[in-house]
Amino acid sequence: MDYFEEIGARHFILEAYDIVLFVYFFEEAAVKKYSGQHSVATRRKKRGVVFSPLAPDSMDRCCTLVAHELCHTTDATDKDVGEQSLHPDGLAEPDRRPLYPQGKAEVMALGIPEARGVERRVEELTQCVIGRKTAEEVGWASMAGSP
Ligand SMILES: [Zn+2]
């Protein structure tokens, strides 16, 4: 994150915007080299970094990561554990009967549960929804029980 802080400071980006997300694109051939680089964001500083291969078929996935990290900067929490979406808040349709398969993913879980313990990775933003809990966390909906 220091690398991005320095770039942001040098170009006066950090003070110009309330939220700053850097997207670090790397060559597709370097995917292995960057496999350990996870996208991150901090809510305190409202900054984040998304790592993505620079390739036409990677842009849709990159957009989902940007949305996920953007939500983190505005107080949203992860809604998955060990790549399993948490019920109910990590599911796009927690009240669906039967519960599986889910048709979409909650943006803070990024998995589409097809059966209990079986999930498909989100590939594009159109497969994501913002669930009730995330909407509350980012301030788009009032907290349950509050006026
Ligand atoms: Zn996250």
Query: CA-CA distance, 135 to 147, in Å (whole number)?
Result: 15
Residue 130's pLDDT band, with cuts at 50, 70 and 90, is very high
The set of residues, in sequence order, having a beta carbon less than 8 Å from that of 14 and lying 6+ positions away, is 5, 8, 20, 47
Average pLDDT over every residue of 123-140: 97
Helix (H, G, I), strand (E, B) or coil at 22: strand
- pLDDT for position 93: 97
* Pair 74, 42: CB distance under 8 Å: no
- pLDDT for position 23: 96
- pLDDT for position 146: 65
Ligand 1 mean position, distance from CA 72 (Å): 7
Average pLDDT over every residue of 23-51: 92
Q: Where are the domains of the chain?
A: 1-75, 77-137
Average pLDDT over every residue of 118-143: 95
- pLDDT for position 28: 92
Q: Which residues pair with 24 in a beta bridge?
A: 51
Ligand 1 mean position, distance from CA 27 (Å): 24
Ligand 1 mean position, distance from CA 69 (Å): 6
Of residues 1 and 117, more confidently modeled: 117
Q: Which of 101, 133, 130 is nearest to 117 (CA)?
A: 101
Classify the C-alpha dihedral 117-41-22-26 as positive or negative: negative
Q: CB-hemisphere CA count at 13 Å for 12?
A: 1
Ligand 1 mean position, distance from CA 109 (Å): 8
The model's pTM is 0.91
pLDDT > 90: percent of the chain: 82
Ligand 1 mean position, distance from CA 57 (Å): 22
Ligand 1 mean position, distance from CA 147 (Å): 28
Q: What is the pLDDT of residues 65-93, one digit of tens each?
A: 999 999 999 999 999 998 899 999 999 99
Residue 6's pLDDT band, with cuts at 50, 70 and 90, is very high
Ligand 1 mean position, distance from CA 64 (Å): 11
Token couple for 37: 């680089």
Starting from the edge strand earliest in sequence, which strands make up the sheet with 47-53, in order? 20-26, 47-53, 40-42
Query: CA-CA distance, 115 to 101, in Å (whole number)?
Result: 6
pLDDT, mean over the chain:
93
- pLDDT for position 2: 86
Ligand 1 mean position, distance from CA 66 (Å): 10
